[in-house]
Amino acid sequence: MSARGGGVVAFSSGNHAQGVAAAAQILNMRATIVMPADAPLSKRERTKAYGAEVVLYDSRPRGSEAIARGIAAKRGATLVPPYDDPMVIAGQGTVGQGNCRRHDGAWHHP
């Protein structure tokens, strides 16, 4: 199975969730996003709108990463953590570079 064949799994209730879901949709991959059950409905719905399966969990025990790792292992999917991963950090840096280029390296603060 190729790396894409197993899909991706992420744990997030914010922008990372939607970014992973959108990228998976573009690449025609399965995406599963683990979110706390108390995440705002708008974030859950936007993530689902990208075609992702949203798995809700009780946020009090704070077990999202363990849940996501278990799903990824069971499905042969790639885990895409929201932080603490060299590829995610590189991607975030690339976005920052693009923003700087678009603004000629100058940031204007109101």
Which one-letter amino acid corresponds to residue 61?
P
The verdict on pTM exceeding 0.75 is no
Contacts of 40 (CB under 8 A, 6+ apart): 13
Q: Is 80 exposed, middle or buried (0-12, 13-18, 19+ CB in 10 A)?
A: buried
Q: Which residue has the tokens 């979110």?
A: 35
For 89, the 3-state DSSP assignment is helix
- Cβ atoms of 85 and 20 closer than 8 Å: no
Mutual orientation of helices 15-26 and 41-49 as an angle, nearest 10°?
A: 10
Contacts of 3 (CB under 8 A, 6+ apart): 78
Q: Which residue has the tokens 């292992």?
A: 73
- pLDDT, tens digit, for every residue of 7-64? 999 998 888 899 899 999 999 999 999 999 999 999 999 999 999 999 998 876 567 8
- pLDDT, tens digit, for every residue of 88-106? 666 666 666 666 677 665 6
